[in-house]
Structure 1
Amino acid sequence: MKIYTKSGDEGTTSLLGGKRVSKAHLRIDAYGTVDELNAYIGLLRDQEINEKRGDFLKEIQDRLFTIGATLATVPGKEKVKRPDLHEEDITVIESEIDRMEKTLPPLTRFILPGGHQVVSFCHVARTVCRRTERCVVALSELEHVDEMIIKYINRLSDYLFVLGRLIAQELKIEEVTWEPRL
């Protein structure tokens, strides 16, 4: 397969199902932001401290690829072959959040990103995840988007927040908390 096709040289791209749209189309922005999020999950997966979580983070990357493929499909083109997202994909993340939270102290203050590079990577991934969510919600206000995509991305941002807290604990790094000026 050739990497460059020149078909997008004039600022359009094809969706799965054949329709061509502007590369500035909200649908392209949504699945492009999913792709960016996937790259940050890959960065997290590559961190030594996440070696034991590597398979779970790879599973998240697989689901994000599924979400990207779904968002890249022309609405209503149900015959396009692609994987689906399942309710179980969301409950797996919820179970992992619950498991991680059992070892963490209760949250009593807002947490600021920082304290260690890997913790910061979690927060960068979390904020990209929130941006992804905003793009997908904006798209859903114009065109049909499977509601499970929004739920999955919302839950994933929660997971990334808790993962940052857990990594800080594992590294014995004190969480950086917000101290409001009074």
Structure 2
Amino acid sequence: MAIYTKKGDKGETGLFGGSRIAKNSLKVNCYGTLDEANASLGIAYSLVKSEELKHIIRTIQQQLFIVGAELASDDQGKNLLEEKVNKENVAWFEQIIDQYEQKLGPIHEFIIPGETTASACLHLSRSMIRRAERLIVKLNGHSSVRSELIQYVNRLSDVLFMLARAEVYFHLLEEVKSKVAEKIKETKSTPAVLTLELACQMAKAAEEKAAAIGIPIVFSVADSGGNTILIHRMEEALLASLDISPNKAYTAVALKMATHELVPLIQPGGELYGVQLSNQNKIVTFGGGYPLKIGQQVVGGIGVSGGSVEEDMTIAVEALKVFNQGE
């Protein structure tokens, strides 16, 4: 079928049945407005996630072609139409309205469109259908329009109002489900407490990395109160590291940050200038200490000492991977 025929170049269009009328006639405005509403429903259909709503919207779109065809027919064409909307279609609308009204409950104030893009498109479609209804009622004053068609269009705007409400409801429902699932996943994937067994696993990972790069280290773990629960010393590790390593773990817990992040903060004029002189000189301000977090909660800290700052940090990261492996 050709997209352009040139028959409408003079401002007229053909009706089903053979007659021609002006493109700005009331009749054309009626089915043209329904076409606008159908396009808007197409946007809503593409945005809606609920399969239940998508099925209803798609069915309405198909029915609007039937309504549009009747409005785009002259008297002869109307007699040739195989399908027309009827009371069964109106009853289906009423069933949908009753179903969602029972699920969503009554409303006591005006609804401002825009809670979701899809619901806003449904409200836009509803307003277009209302405009089409006004035009069709006006058309009925000039030429007869079946009462079932007028009733169908009237009830359709009510259906779209309920579908817009339902779209917001389903959207919020999915958001809640997603957040609950996220919380469950977070609970399952992160350790409930900092156990000695977990501390030993982290120490093993740190030792393996340290051995791989040839650096003997001391690895320490502190609990949420800054108390040392494990000190793991490799052979030939520096004696000084027996003091530095647990202090790095303590610092990470006490200040809730990695120790290398303190460097700019302790400079003159910095927010934590002088903090290294507090806490009985246990604060370490160079890399190798990291807090252990579950969500935003600090449940402990680790400290690595024995190599350069970069080497200590690299080794500590391997231990962090063990702690976070379930995430």
Matched, 1:60 2:92: no
Q: What runs of 5+ residues in structure 2 fail to find an aligned partner?
A: 174-327
- 2:232 is matched with none
Partner amino acid, structure 2, of 1:112: I
| Cα displacement (A) at 1:80 | 2.2
Secondary structure of 1:114's aligned partner: coil
| Cα displacement (A) at 1:77 | 4.3
| CA gap 1:54/1:171 in 2 versus in 1, 3 angstroms | closer
Structure 1 runs, 4 residues or longer, greater than 4 Å off:
none
Give me the whole-angstrom Cα distance separating, in 2, the residues matched to 1:81 and 1:91.
22
| Cα displacement (A) at 1:76 | 5.2
Contact 1:44–1:50 (CA<8 Å) still a contact in 2?
Answer: no
- 2:29 is matched with 29
Matched, 1:143 2:150: no
Secondary structure of 1:21's aligned partner: strand
- 2:104 is matched with 104
1:70-105 Cα offsets, whole Å, 9 max, x none, are: 001103544323411121001101101111111113
- 1:43 is matched with 43
Contact 2:47–2:117 (CA<8 Å) still a contact in 1?
Answer: no
Partner amino acid, structure 2, of 1:151: Q
- 2:127 is matched with 127
Give me the whole-angstrom Cα distance separating, in 2, the residues matched to 1:48 and 1:166.
10
Secondary structure of 2:21's aligned partner: strand
Give me the whole-angstrom Cα distance separating, in 2, the residues matched to 1:78 and 1:130.
24
Partner amino acid, structure 1, of 2:72: A
1:110-156 Cα offsets, whole Å, 9 max, x none, are: 11212221221111111111111111111111111111111111111
- 1:178 is matched with none
Secondary structure of 2:28's aligned partner: helix
| CA gap 1:164/1:16 in 2 versus in 1, 3 angstroms | same
1:161-182 Cα offsets, whole Å, 9 max, x none, are: 1111122222229xxxxxxxxx
| Cα displacement (A) at 1:25 | 0.7
Give me the whole-angstrom Cα distance separating, in 1, the residues matched to 2:86 and 2:150.
12
Partner amino acid, structure 2, of 1:120: A
Contact 2:11–2:23 (CA<8 Å) still a contact in 1?
Answer: yes
1:12-56 Cα offsets, whole Å, 9 max, x none, are: 011111111100110011011111111112222212424332222
Partner amino acid, structure 2, of 1:129: I
Structure 1 or 2, whichever has the larger Rg, is: 2
- 1:179 is matched with none
Report 1 or 2 for greater relative contact order, CA contacts < 8 Å, sequence distance ≥ 6: 1
Contact 2:53–2:167 (CA<8 Å) still a contact in 1?
Answer: no
Matched, 1:153 2:153: yes
Matched, 1:13 2:13: yes
Equivalences, count? 173
The answer to which of 65-74 and 158-167 deviates more is 158-167
Secondary structure of 2:62's aligned partner: helix
If the length of structure 1 is used for normalisation, what is the TM-score?
A: 0.89
Q: What runs of 5+ residues in structure 1 fail to find an aligned partner?
A: 174-182
Partner amino acid, structure 2, of 1:143: S
Give me the whole-angstrom Cα distance separating, in 1, the residues matched to 2:44 and 2:146.
27
The answer to which of 151-160 and 40-49 deviates more is 40-49
- 1:69 is matched with 69
Give me the whole-angstrom Cα distance separating, in 1, the residues matched to 2:50 and 2:21.
38
Identity %, equivalent residues: 36
If the length of structure 2 is used for normalisation, what is the TM-score?
A: 0.51
Give me the whole-angstrom Cα distance separating, in 2, the residues matched to 1:78 and 1:114.
39
Partner amino acid, structure 1, of 2:65: F
Contact 1:31–1:72 (CA<8 Å) still a contact in 2?
Answer: yes
* Higher normalized strand content (fraction of residues): 2
Contact 2:70–2:81 (CA<8 Å) still a contact in 1?
Answer: no
